[in-house]
Amino acid sequence: MIRSMTGFGRGEYADEKRSMVCEIRTVNHRYSDVMVKMPRRYGFAEDMIKKAVKESIKRGKCEVSLLVESIAEDDLTINVSRVTAEQYFRCLKELKKEFPVTGEISVDLLASFPDVIKAMPSVEDEEEIKISISKALAEAIDNLTIMRVSEGEKLAADIWMRADAIREKLAAIEKRCPDLEKIYMEKLRGRIKELLDGQIAVDEDRILLEAAIFADKSGIDEEIVRLKSHLSQLDSILEQGEPSGKKLDFLVQEMNREANTIGSKANDLEITEYMLEIKSEVEKIREQVQNIE
């Protein structure tokens, strides 16, 4: 099914050691862009998360948020970086020598500096934690997909409705086309008679020639055929349901190009009005395509 690029999914998982909540938000974007927000201590799982998301989401800007709450005490290992603490201590002593400051260099002060004391998961638990994260992530992706498919169905229905409206206008234009040469010929004959005021006979052969030239210049049969072909391709892409936003975007550009050509060549007020309506529908389709993965 066609999928929207906009959606939200939430997944949860808990075991005897920790509970996890994973949330995924996606919005429109020209390319695939995945950003992960998670506690630093679980940074080793970031690549796994991005890979899993990109397998499901081919286009769009995606923000993954992971919240983890430790339940078991042994899930947390506290490490002290003595080298870092020593460097802070040395720098503080140098500052006391250079500046007129008072106060002692205490353990509390050293412990408050970044990276002196770290809470880290045990190395041997990384694979276990990845499995836990992947379960919460999988549920979030499933829920996200359900929403994106639901929105995609609405987008596809709207696009099909507008494509049918374009077909109706094209049918009206095709019905009008055979009369264009005759209408032009009558107008031309009337103008010539008005200018000559009956003084000189109208050259019917010349009128027929001018009408033929007009018909050749204003012929829009090829453009109508191409526009119909684009509509058929539109149907096919929507029915296939694969990630197709880029294909549809290109196709809509071509539809707009043919519509502009028909409007400029037809030289007929009624057809021009139909083409303005067609262009309006094409533009609305283009807006909807911007939301498709």
Six token digits for residue 103: 């106060």
Q: What mean pLDDT comes out for the span 71-99?
A: 81
The pLDDT confidence band at residue 106, using thresholds 50, 70 and 90, is: confident
Distance from C-alpha of 159 to C-alpha of 235, rounded to nearest angstrom? 9
Torsion, Cα of 161, 165, 171, 177 (10° steps)? -150
Read off the DSSP letter of residue 42: G
Please tell me the least confidently modeled range out of 124-138, 141-155, 257-271. 257-271
Convert the pLDDT of each residue in 129-151 to its tens digit.
899 999 999 999 999 999 999 99
Per DSSP, the chain holds a count of helices (H) and strands (E) of 9, 6
Distance from C-alpha of 36 to C-alpha of 45, rounded to nearest angstrom? 10
Per the confidence metrics, is the pTM higher than 0.75?
Answer: no
Residue 124 has pLDDT above 80, yes or no: no
pLDDT at 262: 82
Distance from C-alpha of 26 to C-alpha of 6, rounded to nearest angstrom? 5
Instruction: State in Å, rounded, how far the first CA of the chain is from the last one.
Output: 11
Convert the pLDDT of each residue in 193-223 to its tens digit.
555 565 555 556 665 555 555 545 556 778 8
